[in-house]
Structure 1
Amino acid sequence: MPLPSSFDVVIVGGGIMGASAAWFLADNPDFDGRVLVVERDASYAFASTTHTNSCIRQQFSERLNVQISQFGAEFVKNLRRYMGGDDRVPELAIKSFGYMYLADSSDFADILRANIKVQHAAGAATQLMTAARIKAAYPFYNVDDILLGSINLVDEGYFDGSTVFDWFRRSARERGVTFIENEVVAMTLNAAGTKVESVTLADGQMIGCGHVINASGPRAVETSRMAGIDLPVAPRKRHSWIFKAERPLDQQLPLTIDPSGVHMREVGNGTYLAGGHADIDPDVAYDDFAMDHALWQDKIWPAIAARIPQFEAIRVMSEWVGHYAYNRFDQNAIVGPHDQVGNFIFLNGFSGHGLQQSPAMGRGVAELLTYGGYRSLDLTPFHFDRISAKIPITERAVI
């Protein structure tokens, strides 16, 4: 079927962010426009969404980040209700084994103490734990070098992100959103350079647009440059391993943030996930998904075996590389309109937090385009103008 010549909203990128924005627009009874989602690879074989570790936490240092994830948890746990009570939608839950942050220095311990005040003010259930308390609750840890830890066992852990993603797309289609496999290769602006008037697809079609949403993940800068906008977002490699322990732990393993930068968590049935990146962490090519096999041997395995001695005897079952859409400016989201090209909307730079933040971000953008402002969480602090003004948001809980 030929596409209409124009849409009210064109979303560039059909991953979790683009799908969330499309669904919230289509679900809003006050929005009556047409929405087009353009995804360059409908298999999502190399998308950040499909390489995610699918976890959620409230342990941030910025109150807004805490609130964003709190809504994400509410949305996941009530997915069927949000989808209109559709019996086809599964009931989901969060496997709340918690995030365990471990501090081996007085400076990081002070950060945990400051963060918990922000988290408690937002209603999070975070608790601080001395090394002795950690050892009593989780005897498998080696805490000889640990001064303090923090953990939240309410709505922190693993959730089924692939099901959320699937239903965002499926339900959005049923509500009238058009999804196509194609690629936006150019944009045409008005004479003043203040509005994107149309996008050009790889097959030559030109589509008029009321708004453009940049949901291009690690490729966000390629999309923004079509509108004459530079963006400090680039792909960064993140490695993941699933391993089986010869002697499994006799209780769940929280998602442990080791001082080395390595993280690990429960998977189930004696298997665990570990993740991390090299100490030198450069931007990489969009198609660079090569494993760094020395990273496991030289950094990851030594770190997890030192923290949990039972993990000295393990066997790697699978491994993969994904890309963070890494915001080099301050590792926080970039959302909302550009300060000059007013109908160009950002959903970018989530730096590894995208899956858990997608419900709140999709809802916020839908409110912005429908009402001209936010009606739930005020996402204004994450607008692009902070980048223009060179005023970063300091989030001290970036993994």
Structure 2
Amino acid sequence: MAVAGFASTPTKSSYDVVIVGGAIMGASTAWFLSDNKDFNGSVLVVERDPSYESCSTAHTNSCMRQQFSSPLNVRISQFAADFVKNLRSYMGGDARVPEMDIQNYGYLYLADNDGFANVLRANQKVQLDNGAETRLLSPDDIAREYPFYNVEDLVLGSINTKDEGYFDGGGVFDWFRRSSRERGVEYVANEVVAMTKNAAGTRVESVTLKSGEVIACGQIVNASGPRAARTAKMAGIEVPVEPRKRFTWIFAAEQPLDRDLPLTIDPTGVHFRQDGPQSYLAGCPADPDPAVEFDDFHMDHNRWQDHVWPIIATRIPQFEAIKVVTEWAGHYAYNTLDQNAILGAHPEVGNFVFLNGFSGHGLQQSPAMGRGTAEWLAYGEFRSLDLTPFGFERIVEGRPFVEKAVI
């Protein structure tokens, strides 16, 4: 994912928009600004590590789902699906942009008790009302469609195989950056280390870069992923986002399945899915699951042996003999209030714009959230989708945005 040609210092001393963080959210916002005919301002994206080696975007599993409990989250993913499937068209028909699609093996939520089964039923109604094609499966249905599962403990399943599964998130990310840079968005390999506000404390007037430059800004976007709280603190703002570690394993099976494996959310919280023609992916959080240091990507090898592998082998007996091919730890930008996005301007520091706290579903939400943030920057309002329920006011009030389908 490395991008060649990043300068270390900006070409100007003032920009209309400074975006702190150039991973998927910052890149999406920058691209939508560059695509907005009503916006002709200057945009600077400051990325501390243009190799993107440690960012959440680089560690993503690149999945997309429609199965949320909130109508707004469903619509956000519907736009993402349309954007991915029509990426070339969105980017002006540029023949260099690849044709993309979604590998629609779906997400399969499994319930082993009546309480969660009722949640799946309620969620399905929301999803159907908003145009998704979610189906509820009895244990017998699951066994008939996916005979490799052990269904003895199950009560219900929920699956949608339209616009739900794997997509090329890295490809979308690459074209966000490439296209916006060609249109004049400036990326620099640097780091924002301080911010200066006006005397009234109502605006951020400038940012200071690690290399010493002081850059004036009209508006500033906090798109710094798990580092969101550190960035906000420079403006005297507290935001409840912290890095939480998530483990991923790619494994091969001695006896591969005869059909695609949906992204299976086991009742234990472990999830696993098809990865390649004969390889699979599994993931889970740490236990316990505290905030970690920004540079802590240490793998807990016992987590696989003692927890993940036994769960997979129990759910899919055919996976009794599997072998880890590769593994990594990444970070969620975890919103401790409600595991949902924080979006829009700060109520007092009016030019400080949040784009934070996606808690694991950021990549699939990046097209809609980048578009919405660009609209806010250009017009002072959301126009395509009303994203105001994600506003910072709910953080101040301690009022969670309720989303029951969080992985």
TM range (shorter): over 0.9
Q: 1:76 aligns to what?
A: 84
Q: 2:195 aligns to what?
A: 187
Q: 1:370 aligns to what?
A: 378
Alignment TM-score, normalising by the size of structure 2: 0.97
Q: 2:185 aligns to what?
A: 177
Q: 2:3 aligns to what?
A: none
Equivalents in 1 of 2:154, 2:351: separation in Å?
49
Correspondence for 1:3 among 8, 11, 29? 11
Equivalents in 2 of 1:38, 1:127: separation in Å?
43
Alpha-carbon shift at residue 2 of structure 1 (Å) = 5.4
User: Can you list the C-alpha shifts for 1:180-210, whole angstroms capped at 9, x where unaligned?
Assistant: 0000000000111110000000011000001
Q: 1:226 aligns to what?
A: 234
Q: 1:357 aligns to what?
A: 365
Say if 2:398 is the partner of 1:390.
Answer: yes
Alignment TM-score, normalising by the size of structure 1: 0.99
Say if 2:160 is the partner of 1:152.
Answer: yes
Q: 2:122 aligns to what?
A: 114
Alpha-carbon shift at residue 278 of structure 1 (Å) = 2.6
Correspondence for 1:161 among 160, 165, 169? 169
Alpha-carbon shift at residue 267 of structure 1 (Å) = 1.2
Q: 2:141 aligns to what?
A: 133
More divergent stretch after superposition (266-275 vs 167-176)? 266-275
Q: 2:56 aligns to what?
A: 48
8 Å CA contact 2:20, 2:224 repeated in 1: yes
Structure 2 residues without counterparts, runs of 5 or longer: 1-8
Equivalents in 2 of 1:113, 1:367: separation in Å?
35
Equivalents in 1 of 2:287, 2:390: separation in Å?
28
Equivalents in 2 of 1:279, 1:203: separation in Å?
39
Equivalents in 1 of 2:375, 2:51: separation in Å?
29
8 Å CA contact 2:16, 2:41 repeated in 1: yes
Alpha-carbon shift at residue 260 of structure 1 (Å) = 0.6
Equivalents in 1 of 2:119, 2:287: separation in Å?
22
Equivalents in 2 of 1:369, 1:233: separation in Å?
22
Say if 2:252 is the partner of 1:244.
Answer: yes
Q: 1:290 aligns to what?
A: 298
Q: 1:309 aligns to what?
A: 317
Task: Give the AA of the match of 1:12.
Answer: V
Task: Give the AA of the match of 1:22.
Answer: A
Task: Give the AA of the match of 1:139.
Answer: P
Correspondence for 1:333 among 331, 336, 341? 341
Count of matched residue positions in the alignment of Structure 1 and Structure 2:
399
User: Can you list the C-alpha shifts for 1:287-319, whole angstroms capped at 9, x where unaligned?
Assistant: 000000000011100110000001110111000
Q: 2:214 aligns to what?
A: 206
Alpha-carbon shift at residue 393 of structure 1 (Å) = 1.1
User: Can you list the C-alpha shifts for 1:82-135, whole angstroms capped at 9, x where unaligned?
Assistant: 000000000000000000000001110010011011111111110100000000
Counterpart secondary structure, 2:264: strand
Task: Give the AA of the match of 1:206.
Answer: V
8 Å CA contact 2:263, 2:272 repeated in 1: yes
User: Can you list the C-alpha shifts for 1:310-363, whole angstroms capped at 9, x where unaligned?
Assistant: 111011100000000000010000010011101000000000000000000000
Say if 2:39 is the partner of 1:27.
Answer: no
Counterpart secondary structure, 2:77: helix
Counterpart secondary structure, 2:177: helix
Alpha-carbon shift at residue 3 of structure 1 (Å) = 2.1
8 Å CA contact 2:10, 2:188 repeated in 1: no
8 Å CA contact 2:10, 2:186 repeated in 1: no
Work out the percentage of aligned pairs sharing the same amino acid: 68
Give 4+ residue runs of structure 1 displaced > 4 Å after superposition.
none
Q: 2:5 aligns to what?
A: none
Counterpart secondary structure, 1:332: coil
Counterpart secondary structure, 2:208: strand
Alpha-carbon shift at residue 370 of structure 1 (Å) = 1.0
Task: Give the AA of the match of 2:111.
Answer: A
Q: 1:257 aligns to what?
A: 265
